[in-house]
Structure 1
Amino acid sequence: MRFTNWLLMATALLLLFSAAWLLFNIFMPVTV
C-alpha cells in the first residue's frame, strides 16, 4: 500500500515538473 502511494506521489511530481518545464519553454522566449 505504501509503495503504491509513493509511486502515485512520484508520478504526480513528474507530471507537475513536466508541465512547469513546458510552460517555461513556451513563455521564456517571449520575455527574453
Structure 2
Amino acid sequence: MITTQHLKKLYTTEEVETTALNDVTMAVDQGEFV
C-alpha cells in the first residue's frame, strides 16, 4: 500500500506561483491503478 497525507505541490516562476495539489490525502492498495 502507498499512502500520502497532506501532500502539496507548487510550481513557481519569477512571476507566478501555481498550486497543482493542495492537502491531498489518499491510499492506493496493491494492484490498484491511479
One fold, TM greater than 0.5? no
- The two structures have a TM-score, normalised by structure 2, of 0.18
Greater share of residues in helix: 1
Higher relative contact order (CA 8 A, sep 6+): 2
Q: Which of 1 and 2 has greater Rg?
A: 1
Greater share of residues in strand: 2
- The two structures have a TM-score, normalised by structure 1, of 0.18
